[in-house]
Structure 1
Amino acid sequence: MATLILVRHGRSTANTAGLLAGWTPGVTLDERGADQAAALPGRLAGIPLAAAVSSPLERCAQTLAPLLAARPGLELHTDDRIGECHYGDWSGRKLSELSEEPLMRIVQQHPSAAAFPGGESMRAMQARAVDAVRDWDARIEKEHGAGAVFLMCSHGDIIKSLVADALGMHLDLFQRIHVDPCSVTAIRYTPTRPFLLRLGDTGDFAAFERRETPAADPAAPQDGPGADGGAVVGGGAGAV
């Protein structure tokens, strides 16, 4: 079956402001995010892509724009099912404020039981994303052959939930996974099981070289979990 390249969108204005963007309109790539997007065609230069599928949100469209410009024949599709989690009443709020909400403990430790007020549950988020990937995988294989590679540009929590599904992990464990902005994750699907080939690859190891202590503030830009072990809901801003 086909191989899926998952790209998280580049760093956004909401990431650096410490906001949980969700489907809030007007969230775009910041300057670093634009640079990350500009570098993406070179990082993927050797990969023959059969198609690209994008979340409908602007930050994903902006991330793919340089790649599409570099590959005029690359077919682009949009699928709402790989759009960001519907965070409902939490959308647009500061992560530092949301960390005080009782629901955040459920989101961190028992996400399969978490449902956002006025939004969707994390179970529903994962289910729609997995359905989208399986549908597109079958379509790409049918149209381009079993060795085909296709790309999806999506969001941190979506990609983490897809990785958990590929690894056979319960959704309650998905907060142990981290993917930076504009990172590349690869999953190869076969008739019997998926294989995780890459996870959150950016090629940037600067944060490890600095040996920085992770920020305790969940709203602070970071490249991994906070000092308290909490995951950044929405994905975080990555290394700065």
Structure 2
Amino acid sequence: MTPGILTIHLVRHGEHDLSPGLLAGRTPGVTLSERGIEQARRTAERLARAGGIAAVYASPLERTARTAGILGERLGLAVETVDALAEIDFGDWIGRSFAELDEHEDWRRWNHFRSGTRPPRGETMSEVLGRALGFIEELIRGGPRGSAVLVSHCDVIRAVLAHYLGMPQDLLLRLEVAPASVSTVEIGPWGPRILRINEEP
């Protein structure tokens, strides 16, 4: 690893055990399904082969903590919980069905105009991106040299990738981020370079 370069592996949690028809958001108690556990194990093997990983950080939600725990065990690293990597606060939408949400104008607006829409009693994409990038900036300034794994959620990862790609946040749904996938960004004095997006285990 060249001095002054940080490589971050953005890992989405594995498949969770909540009905796919519901918006999990920050619902407590949502952990990994059996398939999600297997996905995380395969991702752990892939990251172990990459080498050079010095730290694992995770969102505090159960499904990310479980995924990160599987990764950390394989890599021989303790997992540090980071609130900045948490799922979007979807406010009043949390736990509701997508079929129900599709009937609401504010939900449809959210999915077409992320940069200018706030979920009711939730947070904006700008706020999500701000906290995630703030943590990454901390790593750049004083984190471990080498590579770090950040275990987070689909739209949080999409927001970070869109930012480094120079994409408007309103287009982030064009990026696919599958369960337990790895997206890798190298950040050096010249700026960011996207090495991979949505590499599935």
Q: What's the TM-score bracket when you normalise by the shorter of the two chains? A: over 0.9
Is the deviation greater in 62-71 or in 75-84? 62-71
- Displacement of 1:48: 1.8
Q: How do 1:63-212 residues align onto structure 2 when only pairs under 5 Å count?
A: 63-72=67-76, 74-140=77-143, 143-144=144-145, 148-203=146-201
TM (norm. structure 2) is 0.92
Which is richer in strand? 2
Q: Distance in 2 between matches of 1:119 and 1:108?
A: 14
- Displacement of 1:17: 3.1
Contact in 1 for aligned 2:110/2:119 (Cα 8 Å): no
Aligned with 2:7 (options 3, 13, 36): 3
Once the two structures are superposed, residues 63-97 of structure 1 have per-residue CA deviations (whole angstroms, 9 ceiling, x without a partner) of 1222222233x142111011000000000111121
Contact in 2 for aligned 1:186/1:196 (Cα 8 Å): yes
| Structure 2 SS opposite 1:26 | coil
Contact in 2 for aligned 1:185/1:200 (Cα 8 Å): yes
Q: Distance in 1 between matches of 2:159 and 2:28?
A: 23
Q: Which residue of 2 is the match for residue 22 of structure 1? A: 25
- Displacement of 1:157: 0.5
Contact in 2 for aligned 1:130/1:165 (Cα 8 Å): no
| Structure 1 SS opposite 2:155 | helix
Q: Which residue of 1 is the match for residue 39 of structure 2? A: 36
Q: Distance in 1 between matches of 2:149 and 2:54?
A: 8
Once the two structures are superposed, residues 14-45 of structure 1 have per-residue CA deviations (whole angstroms, 9 ceiling, x without a partner) of 3x432111111011111110111122221112
| Structure 1 SS opposite 2:150 | strand
Q: Distance in 2 between matches of 1:93 and 1:32?
A: 23
Q: Which residue of 2 is the match for residue 236 of structure 1? A: none
Runs (5+) with no aligned partner, structure 2: none
Q: Distance in 1 between matches of 2:191 and 2:101?
A: 37
Identical residues among aligned pairs (%): 38
Q: Distance in 1 between matches of 2:41 and 2:8?
A: 21
- Relative contact order, CA 8 A, sep 6+: which one is greater? 2
TM (norm. structure 1) is 0.78
Contact in 2 for aligned 1:81/1:132 (Cα 8 Å): yes
Once the two structures are superposed, residues 80-131 of structure 1 have per-residue CA deviations (whole angstroms, 9 ceiling, x without a partner) of 0110000000001111211111012222211101101111112111111111
Q: Distance in 2 between matches of 1:104 and 1:179?
A: 20
Runs (5+) with no aligned partner, structure 1: 204-240
Count of aligned residue pairs for this structure pair: 196
- The aligned amino acid for 1:96 is A
